[in-house]
Amino acid sequence: MSLEQALNHLDASARDFHSLSADVERTKVTVVVDDKSTESGTIIVRGEKMRLDLKEPDPRTILRTGDSLFIFNPKLNRVEEYNLGKYKAFADQYLLLGFGTPGHELKKGYLVTLRGEPVLDGKKVIELELTPKSEAVRNQISKIELWFDESSWLPVQQQFFETGSEDYFIIRYTKIVRNAPIDEGEFKPHWKGAEKVKPQG
């Protein structure tokens, strides 16, 4: 398959993408000290809204609605609130990349390279390498690799490489349900009585 064909498939897939639910596993690898830390939980996505519930090892909820990003820590009963504002596009690189993103939309923000069609978890996938065009993004992330399941054209794995080090993190998605029925209430803050913090920066 050519890169252009892969992007066309992603364009077609994006047209009828409305929502998604999946199990998620996020592994951060710090190369210098050979350290790996893994978190797992569930994710739901609908439009620009996303909720990530990390359950192991440290429970927390990351909720994105519009320009607001909340990080709730139930152990501390504390919620951090960020206004994404001008960072919204940057946040989307992390939070929504590949979920209903048209293929040719990727080319606006990245140099896109087709790396191959490997098999991952028994599924034939397309592997794309994205190099950010924006210097601001490149200062944080040198490149991103995405693996799309060729049967659904949804991401089954994302790998982000941090700029200035060899460190990276891998996010894997399993039990993916496309266009899952998701109630609006799932995206409402659910931390009554929690201490609210608005970090500067």
Question: What does pLDDT average to over the chain?
Answer: 89
Residue 177 CA to residue 183 CA, distance in Å, equals: 15
Q: How confident is the model at residue 90 (pLDDT cuts 50, 70, 90)?
A: low
Report pLDDT for 78. Answer: 95
The answer on pLDDT for 126 being more than 70 is yes
- Of 20-24, 42-46, 87-91, the poorest mean pLDDT is in 87-91
Q: How confident is the model at residue 98 (pLDDT cuts 50, 70, 90)?
A: confident
> What CATH number was assigned to the domain covering residues 3-196?
2.50.20.10
**Measuring CA to CA, which residue among 80, 38, 77 is closest to residue 62?**
80
Q: Which residues pair with 196 in a beta bridge?
A: 79
Angle (CA) 85-52-106 rounded to 5° is 60
Token pair in block for residue 106? 């990727």
Residue 26 CA to residue 182 CA, distance in Å, equals: 23
Report pLDDT for 86. Answer: 67
Report pLDDT for 128. Answer: 96
Report pLDDT for 142. Answer: 93
Q: Which residues of 16-40 are buried (b: 16+ CB within 10 A; e: fewer)?
A: ebebbbbebbbeebeeeeeeeeebe
pLDDT by residue (tens digit) across 49-78?
899 999 988 899 999 988 888 999 999 999
Token pair in block for residue 161? 């490489």
Max Cα-Cα span within the chain: 53
Residue 112 CA to residue 90 CA, distance in Å, equals: 17
